[in-house]
Chains A and B, each alone.
Chain A
Amino acid sequence: MRRKSFSRREVLAGLGAGLAAAVVPGCSGADGGQSGALQVWGGVPAASGPGDVVKAFQEKFPQYKANYTRFVNDDRGNLKLDTALQGGVDIDVYFTYTQSAMALRAGSGLAADLTDRVKADPDLQVFLDTEQPRSYIEDGKVKALATAREPFFVLFNEKLRQQAGVELPETWTIEDFRATAKRLTTGTTYGTYTLPDVARIALGPNYWYDGDRSNFGDPHFEQGFRLGREMIADGTAFPWTEVLSRHLDAYQQNSFLGEEFHLWSTAPFNLRYLYDAKKYPHDFKVSFAPPPTVDGKDWNGGSYSNFIMINPKSPKFEAAWAFVKFWLTEGATPMLKGGKMPALGTVTEEQLVSGMLGKEPEKYFDLDSFRRVVLESDPKLAADTRLAGFPEINLAVEQQRDLCWLGEKDPGAAIREVRRLADAAIARNERRS
């Protein structure tokens, strides 16, 4: 039997086929390539709500099929999403959680212009508000819509609060907060984990920026650093050495559930640790207080967030818009269990209670204070829109805060360094843009 010899052309053809076989699957979308199904990428695990939203969407719109793909909302996860968007992976709708990612994506042509759709829809008029914006508007064009509002509040460990005989505050100042933390401090527990963001409460959105420079010359920044340092030094706030060496920043809930501190300034997404005593055992209730005020100013430290965006390269814009509208208006109820309060407030109070506080809300929460602080109040929330050098400034703030709260650097010197770094970052980024 005669065997065939390989010609140069055949060898090259074989190599080409091999290359194609290797590369093509790697370039395909989550479902194996461009498909008829709507591809949605988000940072929340499907089981924590998005899976049910997608299911409800398909029940209402049987003509559309939708797939949800989760990316982990960290540096690597966001890089994966950005690379996929740039590489032409089949993504129609995606979520953006951080302002720095928002600036990059919206400013680089990765967000479809939704202005006409929003203007044409009476249900969505709030997204045109520029005083307390719930959308990301760039050059007059609406590029992203907030799906959630995340107000901050202060949680009390009710058992420890009652033992200490401290009254639950309905309005209070940052000085009251410090005094309360001091009263709650015992030989075995700290008064608080950290204090609310003093400068944010006083200055509101875009508080890092002042014209074409940074705003860290404002005394509230140094006040916040100094207050934190002093409270750590006098033992009323959690020691920062412990926070860093135990990586507590990402696991604050463990120390709160372990009754290491009484006061916890946090947001609704952390309530999921408090209604599930099987996974997160504890035997105390929590009560709610609003964030303290600073110099009479009462901006809430939280914001509108979890922005939904449409890929401008999507060939399924109608289906994508139907999905966005559904998520915003009637489909977001399943997201309550992850602590995502809808930005448009299209759910009832009872849905909010049962969704955010689990099956036995009375067992783990003081419902009166929850209703007062979370349901009935109208906190001053917004989303930052000035974003030049945002990631660099964020890093500078965190680094100098650490040094200050470890007691290695004076608060004034730390803030001056933040200001220097922030000014440089703003100048560099505005020069590039």
Chain B
Amino acid sequence: MATATVVAAGTKARTEQGSGIRPSGWVGFLFIAPNLLGVIAFTLIPLVSVVLLAFTDWNLVSGLGGITFNGIDNFVAIARDPGFWHAIGLTLVYVAVSVPLTVVLGLGLGIALNRPLPGRAVLRAIFFLPYIVNVVAVGMTWLMLMNPKAGLVNQVLDAFGIQPGWFASSHWALPALIVMAVWSGVGYCSLIYLSALQDAPGQLYEAADIDGASAWAKFRVITWPSLLPTTIFLMVTLIIGASQGFGLIALITAGGPGDATTTISYYMYQTGFQFYRFGYASAIGLVTFVGVLVLTLVTWRAQRGRALND
């Protein structure tokens, strides 16, 4: 102990006297400067800009001098905009269907992959693959699979007398996008669940076995409560991700047919980058942000409450 104290004291002495460098908080800033500049330039400034622009009428092309502050006009217009409410409705349906489906299927797959299956590691990699595949590749593949005439999916469904138009039908385009989103997300969920399952308390399962508990009872009383924090995490991240869903829509349907897949993210893109109504698009972004925040908090609080009660 005494030796350690002496060594530490000697090190301090060398640092302060031998090197001549005085510790300073400013030196730290120098080291984090590259990241700090990036955050300021690409996160903080755009964030503040969007909030400010939400109260303006601006088309970008007119330059900074063309910015006109219009108070809360954009928010009043949003309240009266049927296109906005249609997009919100579609987004809620998209989130409400795709997120629970992804979580439930991810949980089922996670439990299945947690069993001692032959080739388990390979199976895990295969199921995780859709999550890391580029959105363009995913879109193009599903576009071919769901071709109403020549697609493999419809060739199979044809045996049951079903022929959905998928992306060429305003009734089927959103379900098709949900199928793709679920397919892309299930592998990710299962992997997260898998790691949570491997942390589950083994002694509780042993006790339950001794008590003669059924598999369902063990899942309900031991597994599910231990997975609740993971489920909360997945629900929150998936809700945020789904409400921002854009890539596949832009790539495959461009919001159509009609406005059947114009979710709020795509509507925002149309308003800003096709109509050049940047003030209005910023206001939509701000309203959407608040909406997603509220939705996330509600989900988080509700699930957390249940976890504590359990």
Contacts and interface: CB of A to CB of B under 8 A. Distances in A.
B and A form one assembly: yes
Interface of A: 2-6, 8, 11-12, 14-15, 18-19, 22-23, 75-76, 79, 82-83, 85-86, 104-105, 108-110, 240-242, 244-247, 391-392, 395, 398-400, 402-403, 406, 408-409, 432
User: Which bracket fits the contact residues of B?
Assistant: 35 or more
Contacts of A86: 60-61, 63
B90 interface: no
Contacts of B115: none
B186 to A, nearest CB: 25
B166 A245 contact: yes
Nearest to B165: A241
A248 to B, nearest CB: 11
B37 interface: yes
Contact of A6 (B30, B33, B167, B275): B30
Contacts of A83: 60
A219 B305 CA distance: 61
A402 B147 contact: no
Given A6-B30, A244-B168, A403 B275 contact: no
B257 to A, nearest CB: 5
A406 B170 contact: yes
Given A79-B273, A392-B275, A5 B24 contact: yes
A2 B41 CA distance: 37
B146 interface: yes
Contacts of A76: 273
Nearest to B62: A108
Nearest to A390: B275
Contacts of A432: 57
Contacts of B244: none
24 contacts: A8-B24, A8-B26, A11-B24, A11-B27, A11-B29, A14-B33, A79-B60, A86-B61, A108-B59, A108-B63, A241-B168, A241-B169, A245-B148, A245-B166, A391-B274, A392-B275, A395-B270, A398-B256, A402-B257, A403-B170, A406-B168, A406-B170, A408-B170, A408-B171
* Pairs A-B, 7 closest by C-beta atoms: A241-B168, A11-B26, A108-B62, A244-B168, A108-B61, A245-B168, A104-B61
Interface stretch (B14-22, B101-109, B119-127, B293-301): B14-22
B118 interface: no
Interface string B131-170: 0000000000001001111000000000000000111111
Contact of B148 (A2, A241, A408): A241
A406 B24 contact: no
B258 interface: yes
A401 to B, nearest CB: 10
A222 B285 CA distance: 36
Contacts of B258: 399-400, 402-403, 408-409
B66 A108 contact: yes
B63 to A, nearest CB: 5
A6 B169 contact: no
